[in-house]
Structure 1
């Protein structure tokens, strides 16, 4: 191919609507985690043939990013095959994205004839539906939304926007209603523990269109329980468990529901069963770690450390918690909340150097991702305050936490800790003058340190 021809082909490729043109940047993605999750979707055939086709398309792109072009080709071709089987004579617009992916992949594999062939197929579809541009078809918008949703929480807002546009064009579409419910749930979970009426309403709409989707039932059950509608939540959770007793994504939510609103023991049993089916699930290991933490905290609150037997049980539970959180961070290295919790558990176990190492890693990743930073800083400040007994460092990090947002939950906690330090230690050393200066400024009306 001449340089002129190559330039023309590249220009056509850049106009396509597909994963290669949607700014899914490799540097922002945890490819191992994405691969594990997508393979889990395939194993349990979640989403039916249409959803499975999208999953294979996503798998193909991940394999391309990992440099496995031949495997990428197999997965993308499988996606096309499933779309043709599922949609039969109405498959054309559903093929726009996978054909675009294949055109790009063939270009990178230097198979220019095949690349041009896929470009011709897309042109043919475009001419057949000349009433709108490729990127304005609800099939393309929906696929784009799912891609953003599956690949990283950094893209949740883009996924939300794409689902909204797709639903404007196809309001009754079951896939887009389901995806929109999922992304609203995830965004809400990131920023609030209190469910909104809008998210609950969308979950209900999605469930009406996807009545056999047990993951939707489980998520809605959790939201209802958080809104103190326990009876309906429990009924939905029972239905989800009965319908998908071995699906890790469902078991994960059932486990959380039981841990928070029922039996921790039952939650552990369910999660262990799910782990047998999906041993590489970071989320299931994380939930198990939190269950053991809950049991340990309860025993401690009952004064368990006063007896040798209870103290040994607390240590066993802490070890189990650490084991599962270790597995979580091993399987998903960028899981900041799990890494932060693991640091806390190691500090309680007296392994302060290991805790320090994990806190530093969590801080670095939180700064790089601009995610959960205030929470990690506040926990690190408490580590210095209560485990290291290093009050100048504790003051420094509590003040850093306040600078981010003094009115947030973490900001308010740091302010309380600074009050404690100021009351007890302000006169002990010059380093503690930082706390005095902070409170002096606060009294004068300053927003922060």
Structure 2
């Protein structure tokens, strides 16, 4: 290939609208994190979005140097488009053809790359444009791709669907994309109200079960739970195996405290995606919430019943969270959750192992404070090592970030100091703690009895993972 021909081909490639020109991997995000987010998300894994998923997978395969595998993904995407959008196959295939061109170019096969560039050009020329067109279908394709990638892409996705709707305001698919983007952007970066877009999407397509679930979640937050639960029931009845519907419904039931129902839905979702780390994470968190509920149960159930249920919930929580940890999925606090659960079960060596794994990770300031709080609790209540607990509470407080964890650790230090001084008014450790707290500007007040004393009683297994977290 001559230099002139190569430059011409490169110029054409840069004009194509596809994953190679959309800058999908945000600055600072690793390819591993990007792949985990895209491949493990429970949204958009149903049939109508498979082409979008395969196009993104092709892009990831290329970035990893697996261009032949990328071509296989693009072939799957093209087949799905032909089946799902037969009447608009050419326009819907423009993104896939653009991806083909880029992969073949990087494979050193310029003739094949040029063939796909020409396929794009022949379609675009019908709209008097050489290599890109401003069609609602193209805006839609970009919108779904950006929604799949999440994060800062949600804002751009919303713009894409708004542009598509300007040309075709009654299109159900475009309305659905706008509704999902609006829901995600409800609290960030600026508060937006997704209720109207969601209702519009349902009006245009009464079979849009996922929009019904999102609207139900929004209504639940607005204390309109009656309509929300009706919408969830309709969605589950209409799409009993759709992963995104099952997960959204599980979130709603978890919020209202119906943990068994939430778990039932998540386990059903796992039947279709048994290795999905996100699903295992959500299931593990639900079982962990059950552990905390059982620990607080002071009702009519006897100690033996609670102990049996506690052990069962711990085992299930550990099973699902270990699946997440073994998959190296980037989920917050998994190792410290496991550590606390093992501590609850009296398996202190395992607990120590997972705490140390968490300490080895790169954590945000808040995550570091949470870890110091939990590990300090473990030292204080399980291992009965007050000195090490004090050390970690102090380390957590020293992290310059205002949070509820900071206040909890300050209260614990104050309580420890008060108890020590009640035994020995000249206790140097206690006096040092009070001086440390005064330097921080902490208001000295009587120490409050927290739930750990009850949880540390002979009635239950000891707790490093108390409800106050």
Out of 278, 281, 303, the residue aligned to residue 273 of structure 2 is 278
Other structure's SS at 1:314 match: helix
SS in 1 for 2:55: helix
How many equivalent residue pairs?
418
Unpaired segments ≥5 residues, structure 2: 381-388, 419-428, 445-469
Q: Deviations over 1:212-236 (max 9, x none)?
A: 1222222222221222112111111
Within a 5 Å distance, the mapping from 1:372-411 to structure 2 comes to: 373-389=364-380, 390-400=389-399, 403-404=400-401, 406=402, 411=403
Separation of aligned partners in 1, 2:44 and 2:192: 29
Structure 1 residues 120-147: Cα deviation after superposition (integer angstroms, max 9, x where no partner): 2222333322379836433333222222
8 A contact 2:20–2:102 mirrored in 1 = yes
Indicate the larger mover: 77-86 or 221-230: 77-86
Q: Is the 8 A contact 1:293 1:321 kept in 2?
A: yes
Q: Map residues 328-343 of structure 1 onto 2, 5 A cutoff.
A: 328-331=324-327, 333-336=329-332, 338-339=334-335, 341-343=337-339
| SS of equivalent to 1:316 | helix
CA distance, structure 2, for counterparts of residue 154 and residue 343 of structure 1? 33
Map of 2:3 onto structure 1? 3
Q: 1:102 offset after TM fit, Å?
A: 0.9
Residue 27 of structure 1 pairs with residue 33 of structure 2:
no
CA contact (8 A) 1:33 1:332 kept: no
> C-alpha separation between the residues in 1 aligned to 2:243 and 2:109?
39
1:98 matched to which residue of 2?
A: 96
Q: CA deviation at 1:353?
A: 1.9
Q: Does 1:327 align with 2:330?
A: no
The answer as to whether partners of 1:384 and 1:391 remain within 8 angstroms in 2 is no
Greater shift in the superposed pair: 25-34 or 327-336: 25-34
CA offset at residue 292 of structure 1? Answer: 1.6
SS at match of 2:393: helix
Q: Which residue in the other structure is 2:386 paired with?
A: none
Conserved 8 A contact 1:340-1:376: no
Q: How many Å apart are 1:75 and its aligned residue?
A: 2.8
**Shift of residue 281, structure 1, vs aligned partner:** 2.1
1:414 to 406, 414, 422: 406
Report 1 or 2 for greater relative contact order, CA contacts < 8 Å, sequence distance ≥ 6.
2
- Distance in 1 (CA, whole Å) between partners of 2:343 and 2:431 is 25
Range with bigger deviation, 81-90 or 280-289 = 81-90
Secondary structure of the 1:336 match is: coil
* CA shift in 2, pair 1:22/1:429, >3 Å: farther
Q: Tell whether the 8 Å contact from 1:296 to 1:314 is kept in structure 2 after alignment.
A: yes
Match of 1:446 in 2: none
TM-score by length of 1: 0.80
Distance 2:141 2:202 in 1: 20
Q: State whether structure 2 residue 245 is matched by structure 1 residue 250.
A: yes
Looking at structure 1, the residues matched to 379 and 189 of structure 2 have their Cα atoms a distance apart, in angstroms, of 30
Matched-pair contact (CA < 8 Å) for 1:359–1:376:
no
Q: Which residue of 1 aligns with 2:436?
A: 434
Match for residue 292 of structure 1? Answer: 287
Q: How far apart are the structure 2 equivalents of 1:273 and 1:314?
A: 23
What does 1:34-113 correspond to in 2, within 5 Å? 34-37=38-41, 44-45=46-47, 47=48, 51-88=49-86, 90-113=88-111
Larger radius of gyration: 2
Residue 230 (structure 1) aligns with: 225
Which secondary structure state, in structure 2, belongs to the residue aligned with residue 19 of structure 1? coil
Per-residue CA distance 1:377-402 (angstroms, 9 max, x = gap): 331131243223422432332342xx
Alpha-carbon distance in structure 2 between the residues aligned to 1:360 and 1:135: 51
Q: Which residue of 2 aligns with 1:370?
A: none
Post-superposition CA distance 1:23-55 (Å, at most 9, x none): 2338344425534559x966x42x2xxx34333
**Per the alignment, in what secondary structure is the counterpart of residue 30 of structure 2?**
helix
Q: Could you tell me which of 141, 144, 156 is aligned with 1:143?
A: 141
C-alpha deviation, 1:97, in angstroms? 1.4
User: Could you say if the C-alpha distance between residues 292 and 303 of structure 1 is closer, same or farther in structure 2, counting changes exceeding 3 Å?
Assistant: same
Q: Deviations over 1:155-184 (max 9, x none)?
A: 333333433444444433322322232233
1:81–1:312: structure 2 CA closer, same or farther, 3 Å change rule? closer
Q: Which runs of 5+ in 1 are unaligned?
A: 367-372, 443-449
> Equivalents in 2 of 1:384, 1:81: separation in Å?
52
Range moving further from structure 2, 170-179 or 16-25: 170-179
Matches of 1:419 and 1:263, distance apart in 2: 32
User: Aligned to 2:17, what secondary structure does the other structure show?
Assistant: coil
CA–CA distance in 1 between the matches of 2:202 and 2:334?
A: 30
Instruction: Write the distance in 1 (CA, Å) between the matches of 2:281 and 2:411.
Output: 33
Contact 2:51 2:80 in 1 (8 A): yes
Report the CA distance shift for 1:13/1:437 in structure 2 as closer, same or farther (over 3 A): same
Q: Which structure shows the higher helix fraction?
A: 1
